[in-house]
Amino acid sequence: MAAREAELKRIVVFCAGLAAVSLLPANAASASTDWPTYGHDPGGMRYSPLRQITRDNVSSLKPAWVYHMKPADAVVDANGPGGLSFPGATPPGGANNESADAAQRRAEGVGPSRWGGNNRFAPSEATPLVVGGTMYLTTPYHRVVALSPQTGAQIWSYEVAGPGQPSIRGVEYWPGDKQSPPEILFGTRDGRLIALDAKTGAPIASFGDKGVVNLRTPEIMNDYPKAIYGLTSPPIVYRDLVITGVANQEFPALGSYGDVRAWNVKTGKLVWTFHSVARPGEYGHDTWAGDSWKNRSGVNVWGFMTVDAKRGIVYMPFGAPSWDRYGGDRLGKNLFSDSIVAADANTGKMLWHFQVVRHDIWDFDTEAPPVLIDVQRGKKTIPAVAVVSKSALLFILNRVTGKPIYPVVERPVPPSDVPGEQAWPTQPFPVVTPPLARQTMTVADIATVTPELETYCRKLIEDNQLLLGGPYLPTGFNRSTVNFPGTQGGANWGGGSFDPKLGYLFVNSNDMGQIQSRVSTPGQALPFGQGRPFGRFMDPTSRMMCQQPPWGRLSAVDVNTGKLVWQVPLGVTDSLPAEKQATGRPNLGGSIVTASGLVFIGATDDSRFRAFDADTGKELWTAKLEASAHATPITYEGPDGKQYVVITSTGGGFLESPLTSDTVTAFTLP
């Protein structure tokens, strides 16, 4: 009898899953109970059709297994998370530039310079993939591993040779064909693209040089062979192409290009290149004054691309130009920085672009995955793309034409007083959807959470005569400004998840300001550098922000109206009394949503993993982790028929101190 009841239950769950399939938009590859790519589907909805875990039983979730990524012989550098595995300890331009960058990174609470030595382990922000009964992920310890998704037992491990760690945010999967086996593809921080046999972990011999393609080609590195060039996020696959972005330098201004390139997934041969900085004769070249385009670094997809597989369109979110805090040496709009570019995925030819930030001098990268959704307007279904970034402004565009579905206006923003700088006089703002994070700061907004915090913050503002203001306030010359959002965003690379049944897009965001100023720096690569004071707008001792909470949020937007449906604080401040703890916290990572109406998210710096009601924003379940989970979770059905939810949690990253854990944790119902 029990077996019959279990079988009936499986049939009910299967039928419910079939019902969910009909609600998926056209870009969804399938209603897979696996998690085959970073966004679950190529369009990045991060929506799972699974329904076993519900609002009613989610509170019963318990750890099923824990995998420790750190091998016994690994040595972690106690200096912090800043060291990335790039060749060359000094960036182009010499030690002065490295010092300036190190100071900037310390100011932002990031620890050592990103140029740092090759012997450090960066924290993991990895989202595992689960395909056909196997889980795949990168680790901070120079390994890519395959695990049992039911037990966490290791199936195979691939050691990444050389100094370059595998990309911290995971891998991509290619399903193979009749002639070729399925592949696991990932990049490294020293600029290699590697293909492994998904079943064995062995390198694909026909791909590049015995499984490795060197991405640091002369045309991309210019005359800067030691410039930063690597992959921190996984590439994306379209048909027989693997499409790569790059994490290149933010300082100094000149170095490797941030072009997007497509490679044959079987041979590793280059198929097409999209120039992220418009070259002479190309559309957008006139948005770079003089020769400021030449050898310009930045303007890169260091986050995630998405693909409309049906239409053959790739959506590329580009970051800011280098240096991303001063643009006097690159006057103009600077296309295609801070833009979403839609291109023919077969050829790389641009179809349309939408620039989110003109002439970026705030480090407002547009790096989150462009989420491919369907918008219902009356009886009409509009194929759309949802774009959110560090500016915390949400733009919903027609994904075929690039035209805004809801009104967008150009509003005047303040001019810059930095000599030679010409801040763009206007910026685009959505009219219907409100900002998803704080945009302004006044003295009346000073935090009163505790008397000590209020005293500290008032003194910080008064002693340094900090300039407060509204959106796109340029950094002051010889005077520090407080910018909201700060350089962390707003939203960050975690972006959004989408429930096609509700029509809700879920976005987590930060309310964390940035103090900075420009001062003269004669004799250095740029005439203006970072002044003091600088850093996060917070009390570093208590790690509480200087403005009133919330300090982190989770928002739901109805894409069929553009309106905000609900918004709740995301995270708690443990050091406060219980009645004051619900402040929201800084966060880095993303959410997923299930057909049963649950939004799962880690991200916050309070070492929690949570589930929310997708309809209301009510927090339904919380688990305390060994470390903060600055990653995006996944959910899948295991070989045993049970639904699992998995999150990586190592701490570290751009919000905290060094790695404090090495865990991948799977939760399931008893």
The DSSP string of 272-308 is EEE-SSPPTTSTTGGGS-TTTTTTB-B----S--EEE
Q: Mean pLDDT lowest for which of 16-25, 408-417, 459-468, 526-535?
A: 16-25
Taking the C-alpha atoms of residue 257 and residue 280, their distance in angstroms, rounded to an integer, is 15
Secondary structure of residue 14 in the 3-state scheme: helix
The amino acid at 651: G
- Contact partners, residue 415, CB within 8 Å, separation at least 6: 423, 425, 474
DSSP 368: S
Which residue has 């219980």 as its token pair? 578
Q: Is 67 helix (H, G, I), strand (E, B) or coil?
A: strand
Q: How far apart are CA 90 and CA 100, in angstroms?
A: 12
The pLDDT assigned to 37 comes to 98
pLDDT in tens, 247-284: 999 889 999 999 999 999 999 999 999 999 999 999 99
SS (H, E, C) 176-210: CCCCCCCEEEEEECCCEEEEEECCCCCECCCCCEC
Residue 7 has a pLDDT of 42
pLDDT digits (tens, 9 = 90+) for 379-421: 999 999 999 999 999 999 999 999 999 999 999 999 999 999 9
Average pLDDT (505-511) is 98
What are the tokens at 595? 């057909």
pLDDT-derived band at 171 (thresholds 50, 70, 90) equals: very high
User: 204-241 pLDDT, tens per residue?
Assistant: 999 999 999 999 999 999 889 999 999 999 999 999 99
HSE toward the beta carbon, residue 300, CA cutoff 13 A: 28
Contact indicator for 315, 275 with CB cutoff of 8 Å: no
Tokens 């929506």 -> residue: 47
SS (H, E, C) 76-90: CCCCCCCCCCCCCCC
How confident is the model over 140-153, as a mean pLDDT? 97
CA-based max dimension of the chain: 83
Is the model's pLDDT at 26 over the cut of 80? no
On whether the CB atoms of residues 417 and 474 are closer than 8 A, the answer is yes
Residue 120's pLDDT is: 57
Model confidence at 318, pLDDT cuts 50, 70, 90, reads very high
Q: Beginning with the edge strand found earlier in the chain, give each strand of the sheet holding 371-377 in spatial order.
A: 371-377, 380-387, 395-398
- Structure tokens of 506? 């879920």
**Residue 474 pLDDT more than 70?**
yes
For 458, the 3-state DSSP assignment is helix
Nearest residue to 120 (alpha-carbon basis) of 156, 61, 52, 74: 74
CA distance 617 to 621: 12
Over residues 433-442, the mean pLDDT reads 97
Res 103 pLDDT > 80: no
Is the pLDDT at 310 greater than 80? The verdict is yes
Over range 510-530, report the average pLDDT: 91
Q: How far apart are CA 339 and CA 320, in angstroms?
A: 9
The answer to whether residue 28 scores a pLDDT higher than 60 is: no
Asked if residue 332 has pLDDT above 70, the reply is yes
The confidence band for 75, taking pLDDT boundaries of 50, 70 and 90, is low
Sign of the CA dihedral with 72 first, then 73, 79, and 80 last:
negative
- When mean pLDDT is compared across 177-191, 361-375, 477-491, 524-538, the lowest value belongs to 524-538
pLDDT of residue 2: 41
Q: What is the mean pLDDT of the chain?
A: 89
* Residue 74 confidence (pLDDT): 60
Higher per-residue confidence, 91 vs 18: 18
* C-alpha triplet 177, 179, 181: angle, nearest 5°: 60
Q: In which order are the strands placed within the sheet that holds 241-244?
A: 236-238, 241-244, 260-264, 270-274
Hey, which residues does 158 pair with through a beta bridge?
A: 144
In terms of C-beta density within 10 A (0-12 exposed, 13-18 middle, 19 or more buried), how is residue 522 classed? exposed
Strand 476-477, strand 514-520: pairing: parallel
Residues 6+ away with beta carbon under 8 Å from 193: 185, 186, 187, 208, 212, 213, 215, 231, 235, 242, 244, 263, 268
**Angle at alpha carbon of residue 447, lines to 441 and 453, rounded to 5°:** 130
Residue holding tokens 């049992």? Answer: 148
Residue whose structure tokens are 């002479």:
280
pLDDT tens digit sequence for 548-605: 999 999 999 999 999 999 999 999 999 999 999 999 999 999 999 999 999 999 999 9
| pTM, two decimal places | 0.91
Report whether pLDDT(311) > 90.
yes
- Region of poorest pLDDT, from 162-166, 214-218, 508-512: 162-166
Rounded to whole angstroms, the Cα distance separating 167 from 230 reads 8
- Say if CB 44 and CB 317 are below 8 A apart: no
For 457, the 3-state DSSP assignment is helix
Q: Say how far apart CA 119 and CA 112 lie, in whole Å.
A: 13
- Residue 88: the pLDDT is 26
Sequence-separated (6 or more) residues with CB below 8 Å from residue 103: 530
Predicted confidence band of residue 59 (pLDDT cuts 50, 70, 90): very high
For residue 22, pLDDT beyond 70: no
Q: What number is the average pLDDT over the span 360-389?
A: 96
Collect all residues with Cβ–Cβ distance below 8 Å to 165 and sequence separation of at least 6: 84, 85, 121, 122, 138, 140, 142, 188, 189
Residue 537: name the closest of 604, 456, 478 by CA. Answer: 456
**What is residue 411's predicted lDDT score, i.e. its pLDDT?**
98
Mean pLDDT of 7-21: 40
How distant is the alpha carbon of residue 614 from its chain centre? Answer: 22
Query: Is the predicted pLDDT of residue 373 greater than 70, yes or no?
Result: yes
Average pLDDT over residues 436-447: 97
Answer yes or no: are the C-beta atoms of 602 and 57 closer than 8 Å: no
Q: Could you tell me what percent of the chain has a pLDDT over 90? A: 83
What pLDDT shows up at residue 162?
A: 87
Question: How many whole angstroms separate alpha carbon 234 and alpha carbon 244?
Answer: 8
Q: What is the per-residue pLDDT for 464?
A: 95
- pLDDT score at 73: 66
**At 229, phi and psi to the nearest 5?**
-165, 115
Here the tokens at position 533 are 């004071």
- CA 381 to chain CA centroid, nearest Å: 28
Integer Cα distance of 369 and 234 in angstroms: 12
